[in-house]
Structure 1
Amino acid sequence: MLKAAAAEVAAKQATSRLISAALSMNGVFAVNKPPGISCTGLLDYFKRNIGRGAAAVPFEKHYEQEKELRASGNKIRRRRYSLNLRVGHGGTLDVEAAGVLIVGVNKGCKLLGEYLNCGKSYLASARLGVATESCDAEGIITKIANPDSVTGEMLNAVIPKFVGSIEQMPPVYSAIKVDGKRLYDYARGGHEIPPGIKKRQVSVSSIKMLFFDNPHTQEQLGRRVILPVEYSDYFDHNRYRWTGDAGTMKVGNLMIPFANNPDLPFFQLLVQSGSGVYIRSLIDDMGAEIGCGATMTSLLRTSQGPLRLDHDTINVEDLAYVDRVIGAIRHTDNIIQHNIGRQQAKV
C-alpha cells in the first residue's frame, strides 16, 4: 500500500513538473490540423491536455464531442481552463479544411501576426456544374448548370483573371465580423446578413491546374493528386462518401451527399496566396466566370510561410506531450534563424 501511495505521489509530482514546463513554453509551432474540427476546438484540446501525455483525453473523444457541439446548432460555450496558458493561431482554417495550422504559445502569440500576413499554399479539389451558398460542399445548393461542354482549356483560360491583386467578396459563411458578430453566426442563425459588405482587395500569387477530368467528354488533363489516407478517408469515404442513392440533385438540397458525384467534372488546383484569400470563394468565382458554377470539395493547406505540411508539423496526438511541443517550437526557431541567415547572406 505504501509503495502504491508513493507511486501515486511521484506520478502527481511528475505531472506537476510537466505542467510547469508547459506554462513556461514560449514560441510558435505548426500542427497538422485534421478535417472536421475547428481551429478553436483544436486549441481547446491543446490547452486542456498539454502535459498529460499518455493520460490525456484521446483526441478522437474530443473530436466527437466537438462534432456534437457543432451539430447542436447552439453557440459553443467552453469551460474555463485551469492552466494560465496563452494560446492562439496564425490564420483560420475552416472546419472541413486540413493542413498546416500555426500555433503560438504564451509570448509566441505576439509573433502570430507575421504568419497571418505571410504566403500560404493550398491544394483544392472542386466539382463543376453546381454552386452553393457557402461556396463549399457543406452548403445548400443555389445553382445547377450543365457542365458537360466545359474543357480543361476553358478552365485554364479563366485562371489568369484571378491571379495578382484581385477583389474578392467574402462568403457569407466566414469568420469576418460585422457589427461585432461573425458572418457565419448570422447565416447559421437564419438572420439577415447586414448590408454593405464590401469586396476586399487580396493577393493571389499563382494558380496552377493540376488535374481536370470531364467524364462526359472523357477529357483528362494532368495527374490527380492522391491525398494522404487520413484526408482521403474523410473527404472521399466518410463525410462526402458517394453512395448514389441521394436522389436527384436539386436547388435547395444540401451539397454533402453530391460532393463526390462522379457525373460532375472534377478538378484540382494548387493556389499560392497572401492573407485573407478565401479559396472556396476563388473557386466559386471561377465557376461563375465559366458559367456553370463550381464548388470546392476539399482543401489542404500545404504550407504557411517557411513551414511545410510534410516536414514541419506535428500531429494532434503530440499536443499532450510537452517535450514534443517544445521540440516543434525549437524546430520552427531553427527554420526562422536559417531563413534570416540566408537573407543576410544575400545583402
Structure 2
Amino acid sequence: MAAAEAAVVSSSSLETDPAPETAETVAVAAAARTGCEARVVKAALATKLLSLSGVFAVHKPKGPTSAELLNRLKEKLLAEAGMPSPEWTKRKKQTLKIGHGGTLDSAARGVLVVGIGRGTKMLTSMLSGSKRYIAIGELGKATDTLDSTGKVTEEKPYDKITQEDIEGILQKFTGTIMQVPPLYSALKKDGQRLSTLMKRGEVVEAKPARPVTVYSISLQNFQPPFFTLDVECGGGFYIRSLVSDIGKELSSCANVLELTRTKQGPFTLEEHALPEDKWTIDDSLEHCSSLLPAELTLKKSKPEESNEQILSCEYMTLNETKGEDDVNKTF
C-alpha cells in the first residue's frame, strides 16, 4: 500500500512540476520577444513613412544622377521601415509617391528638392521660383557637353582676358535674355531626351533660343583660366550655356568645371539640404513639416489601416520648366 501511495505521489509530481528553464529556452523566449518588438517598431515606422506628405531638400553629391539619388533615398527609407517584407504580401496595396524637381547634372552637386506623397504635386509651383548656383568656369576650352565631362571640341587663347573684361560683360547676361539650351540636356525630341540621342551618335539640332531670367550675376574669383560666378536665375536656365556664352563674348571659349546649386525655391544648401546620414523617416517627417513656408505646409494624409498595407513606389521626375517635358513615371 505504501509503495502504491509513493508511486501516486511520484506520478503527481511529474505532472504538476514545471520543466526547469534552460539557457536555451530563455534565449528562445527572449528572441521571440525581441522579434515581436522589432515588428512593432517596423510597423510604426511604416506608418510614418506612409504618412509622409510634403517637400524637403537633400544634398546631392557629384557622381549620381538625380534619378539615381532618388532611388538611393527610396531604398534607405524602405529598408528602415522593413518594407516591403513577406508578412505584408497579399494585403491591401498602398502607393507612396516620391519624386524630385529640378534635375541636377550628374557632375553637379547641391540642393535637390524632393516631394513625397501629395508633396509631389507641389514641386512645379514651388520650384518655379529662383535658383542659385556657384559655378567655376574654365576659359580656353569648349566641350560638346559644355562642361568638363565632355570631349574638347575647341581651344582658344585666353591670356589677354582680364577680371575687368569679365565683369564688364556680365551686365549683358542679366535680366531677361535669350538662351539656347545645351544639346546634352533633359529636353526631348520625339519623346526622347536630347542627351540620350547624342550619346547614340544621332544628329540632333539645337533647340531655338528661348527667354530666361537672370536675377543677379557676379564674379567671385578670377585666377586664369578659372573664374567663379554666383548666379541667381529662374526656371529653365542652364549654367552651362551661360558659361559657354561668356567665353564666346570674350572672344574665347569656356566650359563648366564645377557646379553647385546653393538654393532652390525656399531651400538652401547650408540650412535645409539633408546629407545622406540624415535620410531617415524621422528626419524626413520633421523636414516635411517644418521647412515649408506656412502657406505651403500640407496636412498629413492619414494612411488606411497601416498594418494592412504594402508599399510600392512611383517615381516622378519634374523638370525645371513647367511644361518642358512630360512627367516621367516608373513603377
Measured against the shorter chain, the TM-score band is 0.7 to 0.9
Deviation at 1:313, TM superposition (A): 1.8
Report the counterpart of residue 111 of structure 1 in structure 2: 122
Deviations 1:226-272 (A, max 9, x none): xxxxxxxxxxxxxxxxxxxxxxxxxxxxxxxxxxxxxxx11100000
Q: Secondary structure at the match of 2:95?
A: coil
Task: Give ranges in structure 1 of 5+ residues lacking alignment.
Answer: 57-81, 215-264, 341-347
> 2:221 maps to what in 1?
211
RMSD of Structure 2 on Structure 1 (CA): 2.1
Task: Describe the SS at the equivalent of 2:202.
Answer: coil
TM-score (norm 1): 0.71
Cα deviations across residues 180-203 of structure 1 (Å, max 9, x unaligned)? 00011001111121x462112111
1:337/1:153 Cα in 2 relative to 1: closer, same or farther (>3 Å)? same
Deviations 1:8-28 (A, max 9, x none): 232133112212210111000
Structure ranking higher in strand proportion: 2
C-alpha separation between the residues in 2 aligned to 1:54 and 1:5? 20
TM-score by length of 2: 0.75
Contact 1:90 1:115 in 2 (8 A): no
The one-character-per-residue Cα deviations of 1:77-113 (angstroms, maximum 9, x if unpaired) are xxxxx97210111211111111111110010111101
2:139 is matched with which residue: 113, 128, 137?
128
Contact 1:205 1:273 in 2 (8 A): yes
The 3 A distance-change label for structure 1 pair 143 and 88 is same
Q: Secondary structure at the match of 2:270?
A: helix
Letter paired with 1:283: V
Q: Is the 8 A contact 1:35 1:95 kept in 2?
A: yes
Q: Which residue is equivalent to 2:35?
A: 8
Distance, in Å, in 1 between the alignment partners of 2:206 and 2:158 is 33
**Matches of 1:280 and 1:196 in 2, distance apart?**
14
Matched, 1:337 2:294: yes
Matched, 1:309 2:266: no
Q: Does the alignment pair 1:322 with 2:243?
A: no
1:214-293 aligned within 5 A: 214=224, 265-293=225-253
Match of residue 199, structure 1, among 202, 209, 213: 209
Q: Distance in 2 between matches of 1:55 and 1:210?
A: 47
Question: 1:17–1:55: structure 2 CA closer, same or farther, 3 Å change rule?
Answer: closer
Q: Distance in 1 between matches of 2:238 and 2:55?
A: 24
The higher radius of gyration belongs to: 2
Distance 2:200 2:78 in 1: 37
Matched, 1:45 2:72: yes
What CA distance in whole angstroms lies between the structure 1 residues aligned with 2:289 and 2:243?
A: 37
Q: Give, in whole Å, the separation in 1 of the partners of 2:156 and 2:130.
A: 34
Question: Which residue type is aligned with residue 129 of structure 1?
Answer: G
One-letter amino acid of the structure 2 residue matched with residue 307 of structure 1: F
Question: Aligned AA for 1:281?
Answer: S
8 A contact 2:138–2:256 mirrored in 1: yes
Extract unaligned runs of 5+ from structure 2: 1-27, 84-92, 298-331
Aligned partner letter, 1:323: D
Partner of 2:158 in structure 1? 147
Structure 2 counterpart of 1:173: 184
Quote how far apart the aligned CAs of 1:32 are. 1.1
Matching of residue 183 in structure 1 with residue 210 in structure 2: no
Q: 1:276 to 1:290 in 2, by over 3 A?
A: same
Query: Structure 1 residues 24 and 206 mapped into 2: Cα distance closer, same or farther (>3 Å)?
Result: same
Which of the numbers 104, 109, 112 marks the counterpart of 1:98?
A: 109
Cα distance change of structure 1 residues 313 and 173 upon mapping to structure 2, 3 Å threshold: same
Write out per-residue CA displacement over residues 273-314 of structure 1, whole angstroms, 9 at most, x where no aligned residue. 000000011000110111110111111111112221111221
Aligned equivalents of 2:82, 2:192: Cα separation in 1: 37
- Distance, in Å, in 1 between the alignment partners of 2:206 and 2:55 is 37
When the two structures are aligned, how many residues end up with a matched partner? 261
CA distance in 2, matches of 1:178, 1:20: 41
Is the CA contact (8 Å cut-off) linking 1:31 and 1:103 kept in structure 2? yes
Q: Distance in 2 between matches of 1:19 and 1:338?
A: 28
Give the share of equivalent positions with the same residue, in percent.
36
Tell me if the contact between 1:312 and 1:331 (Cα under 8 Å) persists in the aligned partners.
Answer: no
